[in-house]
């Protein structure tokens, strides 16, 4: 405690340490008590601390550490109660990982009281990260002026968590993963970015609690065949980015998709049961569409050729995707498209037809499949400024280089980059 020049301290035990020292009667609690740092400390890390409780200087005297900004607790697996972190007047970043015996974060977590006997903790905290706390059931309180500066909240792998605070007014970014029994979101009036993964599907109907949301990522909701209409309807005037990833049972997108007036970026990834997409003509602001890992999808969505703002298409091309005008939009209909990325499915033998009809195309990127035999049946568009091919086999590379069989199809392109697993060539 007399080493005032130490401002950053990390104490780390072996990950399999059980908290006791055989033969000498010492314990992790007594060691940590004796390693009390000075109150000049700014950053504190405790890794794999094996004690069942934190020392007195953390439980009873923590408010004196008024310069402490950053705390990381990692793998403190035997502790059942948390210090009064809310007492720390300068604390901005709090990480808690692998504290598997803690069941509740309640009033004692906030610490201090004001003159009216109200808890007013965490007045400077900006980031709170809670990970792998398998016994955590509830985070109580935070409704009386706590967390006024909190900007980022990350909660992951808390399988028993059922309760969050009712209101977190200042949080801008929220990431919740693997909280399988959490069914609702608190009021998040300032949140612009929300990521939800592997939670109870009922949480998807809480978007009315996020009136400022501009970016939504939802991933891996097991057995979800249909998304509730309530997921998008409250976001019609705010949402700019929507990412739907790893819904293995999803059969259709929600009807509210067409109402997203300012949506600019739409990503659909690994939704293998999804067979069709709705008409996207109403998405007047859409600039970027990415569709990958959707093996049952047969056609591009209708309406893309009507979108004047549309700039980039990223598509994984499968054998089921055919450019039939009566059923959907083929590539030849996207004459005004400037950027195209094609991921080749291993199930498909050919690149899509119609590349030569993309008369405004400037950048073309292809991620090659071993089953693909040729780049195109015809010369690529004269408008192309850049061609990039990733995972290009050596035999294809030789055909595309000067003098090769396919060289006349790409010779007019100023920038050509061919990347294989071993090396690359460019012009």
The pLDDT value given to residue 384: 95
Contacts of 57 (CB under 8 A, 6+ apart): 33, 36
> Quick check: is 405 in a domain?
no
Name which of 181, 75, 174 is nearest 133 in CA terms. 75
Residues 151 and 170: beta-carbon distance below 8 Å: yes
CA pair distance 45, 162, nearest whole angstrom: 28
Pair of tokens at residue 249: 């049972």
- Domain residues for 143? 1-213
> Quick check: is 382 in a domain?
no
> Quick check: is 98 in a domain?
yes
Name which of 253, 331, 257, 348 is nearest 295 in CA terms. 348
The position carrying tokens 């996020």 is: 210
CATH of the domain at 9: 3.80.10
Pairing of strands 288-292, 265-269: parallel
> Quick check: is 21 in a domain?
yes
Residues 409 and 379: beta-carbon distance below 8 Å: yes
Residues 331 and 310: beta-carbon distance below 8 Å: no
Q: Is the dihedral of CA 261, 263, 264, 266 positive or negative?
A: negative
DSSP letter string, 253-305 = --GGGGG-TT--EEEEES-TT-------TT-TT--EEEEES-TT--SBPTTGG
Name which of 351, 308, 306, 300 is nearest 326 in CA terms. 300
> Quick check: is 165 in a domain?
yes
The pLDDT value given to residue 335: 86
> Quick check: is 397 in a domain?
no
The pLDDT value given to residue 81: 92
> Quick check: is 77 in a domain?
yes
Enumerate the β-bridge partners of residue 288.
265, 312
Question: Whole-prediction pTM value?
Answer: 0.89
Q: Give the pLDDT means over successive 10-residue stretches in the chain (427 positions).
A: 95 77 70 94 95 92 94 94 92 96 88 60 94 93 79 97 91 97 94 96 94 96 86 94 94 88 96 89 94 87 89 86 54 87 75 84 90 80 94 87 90 92 61
> Quick check: is 349 in a domain?
no
Q: How many domains in the chain? A: 1
The position carrying tokens 């819904």 is: 247
């Amino acid at each position: 405690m007399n080493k005032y020049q130490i401002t950053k301290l990390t104490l780390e035990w072996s990950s399999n340490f059980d908290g006791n020292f055989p033969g000498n009667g010492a314990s992790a609690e007594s060691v940590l008590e004796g390693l009390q740092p000075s109150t000049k400390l700014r950053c504190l890390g405790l890794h794999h601390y094996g004690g069942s409780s934190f020392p007195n200087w953390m439980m009873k005297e923590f408010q004196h550490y008024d310069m402490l900004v950053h705390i990381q607790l990692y793998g403190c697996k035997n502790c059942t109660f948390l210090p009064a972190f809310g007492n720390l007047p300068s604390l901005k970043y709090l990480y808690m990982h692998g504290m598997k015996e803690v069941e509740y974060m309640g009033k004692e977590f906030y610490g201090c009281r004001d003159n009216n006997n109200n808890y007013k903790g965490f007045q400077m905290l900006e980031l709170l990260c809670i990970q792998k706390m398998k016994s955590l059931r509830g985070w109580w309180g935070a409704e009386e002026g706590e967390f006024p500066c909190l900007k980022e909240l990350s909660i992951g792998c808390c399988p028993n968590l059922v309760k969050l605070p009712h209101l977190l007014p200042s949080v801008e970014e929220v990431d919740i993963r693997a909280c399988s029994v959490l069914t609702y979101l608190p009021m998040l009036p300032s949140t612009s970015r929300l990521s939800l993964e592997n939670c109870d599907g009922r949480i998807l109907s809480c978007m009315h609690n996020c009136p400022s949301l501009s970016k939504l990522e939802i991933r891996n909701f097991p057995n979800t065949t249909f998304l509730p209409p309530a997921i998008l309807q409250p976001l019609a005037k705010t949402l700019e980015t929507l990412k739907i990833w790893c819904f293995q049972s999803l059969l259709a997108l929600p009807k509210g998709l067409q109402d997203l007036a300012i949506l600019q970026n739409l990503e659909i990834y690994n939704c293998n049961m999804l067979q069709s997409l709705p008409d996207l003509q109403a998405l007047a602001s859409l600039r970027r569409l990415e569709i990958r890992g959707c093996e049952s999808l047969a056609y591009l969505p209708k309406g893309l050729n009507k979108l004047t703002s549309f700039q980039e298409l990223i598509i994984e091309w499968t054998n089921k995707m055919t450019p039939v005008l009566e059923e959907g939009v083929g590539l030849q209909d996207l004459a005004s498209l400037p950027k195209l990325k094609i991921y080749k499915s291993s199930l498909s033998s050919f690149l899509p037809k119609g590349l030569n009809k993309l008369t405004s195309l400037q950048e073309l990127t292809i991620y090659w499949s071993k089953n693909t035999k040729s780049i195109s049946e015809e010369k690529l568009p004269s408008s192309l400024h850049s061609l990039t091919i990733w995972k290009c086999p050596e035999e294809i590379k030789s055909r595309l280089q000067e003098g090769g069989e396919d060289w006349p199809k790409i010779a007019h392109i100023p920038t050509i980059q061919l990347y294989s697993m071993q090396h690359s060539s460019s012009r």
